[in-house]
């Protein structure tokens, strides 16, 4: 394995990991605060990608498409939260998992109905190449990585510096005390859910130029995103970031070593980590059923 | 053992109704319902009795199917032996992964199972491609020899065999439901600490339940393999991972006859809807959400109390 291949592999892994991170952060927040497993984040990811495609076709700019995707994903997430999740927050966790899977499947059906079955291409908004240590690397992948790190910093600042963010963090620790302090937790839930939806939409929009946009894309990344969340530990933002980059590296470097390994190796690693530490890398013991 | 006989009437009645399906509806449909019902009851048992939701049932289905397929494609020709091998391979994989999986909480369990299904998919599609022929699958319909009395190559004989097998499976699950083991399973779901206090091992009970459920699933897989005479990695595709969970919910979680009703409704709807619109996921998804919002009882879970009321009323009036 020569250096050039290795460097491009690492960058590829980092950019894949960034997308996974943006997706997983929503799932992680939803689990931490509301104790729901929100599989429908994968739907907002697909919606983000499709809106990016649609707006790119009409305006010619991918960046407008990504912005539009974020907005529409957030709106759809808001609607779903209002009409469905608000009624089932109190129920068991497996219950929300199944309901959200239903939403995901229905959404995939709707996407197939609107845009058809065929995969659609979205061109890369930045065609330039950068040279790192003699290796040519698409700048767009670097931009994706930078955006995801900015999002991490933003989320960190939001959770640590604003009142709403602090309330969310307190809610992850103990939701009943937060309610007891007179904070409207359902407002917090809605806020968190919309943030999660917007980030998923952003992930979809950023991922669209790297792959083809197709209706099953949500279901395809679903196992990987879950793996990221599990390895990192449900409810932990830092763990999600670390495990997203681990998974991204395993996928891309695994592919360099032996093709079929790319899809399987992450799962093997997840099994290993779960066997050693069933709560994930950064999962706290508080999050017991 | 007495408990089997107390409920045998209900069991006989249910399978009489199932036999009527064979009389009034086309054969492939009846076969598909039977296999699907066997496929689902494992998931139903795990979800309703043990409290484990499993998105990974296709993994065990595929193991059973490929166990049968390898035997029929490479080694022998007797489909009965093939089914036996499929079931045994199901037992083996469940015994192997069980100790690791049943330690986990329900939500992690679901995801780890899903991961196993994905691993199986790539295992059969890519890594073992030399033996499994990748996406092309294994075709062995012509390899199967016809056996005396019940010829599995013949769909109507296959129905009889599957019917008897399904009857056996339901009798087993009925027995389990009434036995102490069934009660223990329910206890691990509701209050594991208390069960531990009573001197039972949560781990052993869960492991045994896991093995039983997944053996049934593997059996459904080997039945699929023999019925179609063909196996491809598509059987464990991640997009189909939720099928058994959907059918379980549709029929009614934790009820004995839920899987039959659910399989009937699901297969029927699939055939009906796919005739009208191509993308029937939309409908299934909305149905799933609707079931969850309506109170997660499913069809049979809603019907059962009503039927019981009717029957008891009749009994009282005759007395």
A243-269: pLDDT as tens digits: 888 888 888 887 777 766 666 777 777
Is B297 a member of any domain?
no
Which residues in chain A are contacts of B281 at CB distance < 8 A?
105-106, 108-109, 112
Give me the pLDDT at residue B109, please. Answer: 81
Which residues in chain A are contacts of B280 at CB distance < 8 A?
109
d(CA B262, CA B265): 5
Query: Using the beta-carbon criterion (under 8 Å), do A106 and B281 form an inter-chain contact?
Result: yes
Is B300 a member of any domain?
no
- Ranking B144-158, B175-189, B243-257 by mean pLDDT, the lowest is B144-158
* Range from A4-8, B1-5, B13-17, B20-24 that averages highest in pLDDT: A4-8
Q: How many domains, chain B?
A: 1
Taking the CA of residue B205 and the nearest CA in chain A, the distance in Å comes to 20
**Which residues between 3 and 42 in chain A have a beta carbon less than 8 angstroms from any beta carbon of chain B?**
37
Q: How many C-beta neighbours within 10 Å does residue B196 have? A: 14
Query: Using the beta-carbon criterion (under 8 Å), do B238 and A219 form an inter-chain contact?
Result: yes
Is B125 a member of any domain?
yes
Give me the pLDDT at residue B44, please. Answer: 86
Is B172 a member of any domain?
yes
Which residues in chain A are contacts of B114 at CB distance < 8 A?
222-223, 226
Task: Indicate whether B97 pLDDT > 80.
Answer: yes
Query: Using the beta-carbon criterion (under 8 Å), do A97 and B110 form an inter-chain contact?
Result: yes
Confidence of residue A283 (pLDDT cuts 50, 70, 90): low
Give me the pLDDT at residue B319, please. Answer: 45
Mean of the pLDDT values across residues B158-180? 85
pTM for the predicted model, two decimal places: 0.78
Partner residue opposite A110 with nearest CB, options B100, B282, B287: B282
Task: Indicate whether B4 pLDDT > 60.
Answer: no
Is B283 a member of any domain?
no
For B52, the domain range is 2-239
Give me the pLDDT at residue B43, please. Answer: 86
Task: Indicate whether A288 pLDDT > 60.
Answer: no
Is B281 a member of any domain?
no
Give me the pLDDT at residue B88, please. Answer: 92
Taking the CA of residue B267 and the nearest CA in chain A, the distance in Å comes to 17
Give me the pLDDT at residue B257, please. Answer: 80
Whole-number average pLDDT of chain B: 80
Is B96 a member of any domain?
yes
Is B265 a member of any domain?
no
Query: Using the beta-carbon criterion (under 8 Å), do A109 and B279 form an inter-chain contact?
Result: yes
- Ranking A148-162, B30-44, B117-131 by mean pLDDT, the lowest is B117-131
| A106, A218, A262, A278: best to mutate for the B interface, most B CBs within 10 A | A106
Query: Using the beta-carbon criterion (under 8 Å), do A97 and B107 form an inter-chain contact?
Result: yes
> ipTM of this complex > 0.85?
no
The answer to whether A99 contacts chain B (CB < 8 Å) is yes
């Amino acid at each position: 394995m020569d250096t050039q291949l290795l460097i491009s592999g690492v960058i590829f892994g980092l950019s894949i990991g960034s997308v996974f991170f943006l997706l997983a952060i929503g799932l992680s927040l939803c689990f931490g605060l509301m104790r729901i497993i929100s599989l429908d984040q994968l739907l907002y990811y697909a919606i983000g990608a499709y809106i990016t495609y649609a707006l790119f076709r009409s305006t010619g700019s991918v960046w407008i498409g990504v912005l539009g995707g974020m907005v529409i994903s957030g709106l759809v997430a808001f609607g779903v939260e209002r009409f469905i999740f608000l009624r089932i927050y109190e129920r068991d966790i497996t219950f929300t998992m199944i309901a959200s899977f239903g939403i995901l499947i229905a959404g995939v059906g709707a996407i197939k109905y609107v845009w058809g079955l065929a995969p659609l291409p979205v061109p890369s908004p930045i065609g330039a190449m950068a040279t790192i240590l003699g290796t040519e690397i698409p700048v767009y992948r670097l931009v994706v990585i930078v955006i995801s790190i900015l999002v991490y910093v933003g989320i960190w600042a939001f959770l640590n510096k604003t009142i709403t963010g602090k309330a969310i963090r307190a809610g992850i620790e103990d939701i009943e005390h937060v309610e007891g302090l007179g904070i409207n937790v359902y407002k917090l839930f809605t806020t968190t859910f919309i943030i999660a939806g917007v980030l998923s939409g952003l992930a979809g929009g950023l991922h669209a130029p790297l792959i083809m946009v197709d209706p099953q894309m949500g279901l395809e990344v679903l196992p990987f995103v879950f793996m990221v969340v599990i390895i990192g530990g449900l409810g932990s933002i830092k763990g999600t970031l670390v495990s997203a980059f681990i998974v991204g590296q395993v996928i891309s470097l695994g592919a360099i070593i032996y093709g079929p390994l790319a899809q399987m190796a992450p799962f093997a690693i997840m099994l290993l980590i779960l066997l050693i530490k069933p709560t994930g890398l950064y999962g706290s013991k508080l999050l017991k059923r | 053992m007495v408990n089997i006989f107390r409920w045998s009437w209900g069991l006989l009645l249910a399978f009489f109704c199932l036999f009527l399906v064979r009389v009034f509806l086309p054969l492939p449909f009846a076969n598909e319902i039977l296999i699907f019902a066997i496929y689902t009851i494992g998931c139903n048992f795990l979800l309703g009795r043990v409290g484990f939701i499993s998105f990974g049932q296709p993994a065990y289905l595929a193991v059973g199917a490929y166990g049968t397929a390898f035997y029929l494609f490479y080694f022998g020709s007797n489909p009965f032996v093939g089914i036996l091998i499929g079931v045994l391979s199901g037992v083996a994989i469940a015994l192997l992964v069980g100790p690791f999986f049943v330690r986990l909480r329900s939500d992690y369990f679901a995801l780890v199972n899903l991961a196993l299904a994905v691993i199986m998919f790539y295992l059969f599609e890519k890594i073992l491609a030399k033996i499994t022929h990748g996406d092309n699958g294994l075709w062995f319909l012509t390899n199967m020899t016809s056996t005396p009395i019940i010829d599995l190559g013949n769909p109507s004989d296959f129905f009889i065999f599957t019917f008897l097998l399904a009857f056996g499976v339901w009798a087993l699950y009925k027995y389990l439901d009434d036995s102490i083991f069934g009660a223990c399973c329910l206890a691990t779901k509701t209050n594991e600490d208390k069960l531990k206090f009573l001197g039972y091992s949560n781990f052993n009970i869960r492991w045994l339940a896991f093995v039983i459920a997944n053996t049934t699933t593997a059996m459904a897989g080997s039945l699929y393999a023999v019925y179609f005479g063909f196996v491809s990695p598509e059987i464990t595709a991640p997009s189909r991972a939720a099928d058994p969970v959907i059918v379980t919910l549709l029929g009614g979680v934790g009820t004995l006859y839920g899987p039959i009703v659910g399989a009937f409704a699901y297969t029927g709807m699939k055939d009906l809807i796919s005739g009208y619109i191509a993308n029937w996921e939309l409908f299934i998804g909305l149905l799933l959400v609707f079931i969850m919002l309506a109170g997660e009882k499913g069809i049979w879970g809603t019907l059962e109390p009503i039927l019981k009321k009717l029957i008891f009323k009749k009994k009282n009036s005759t007395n």
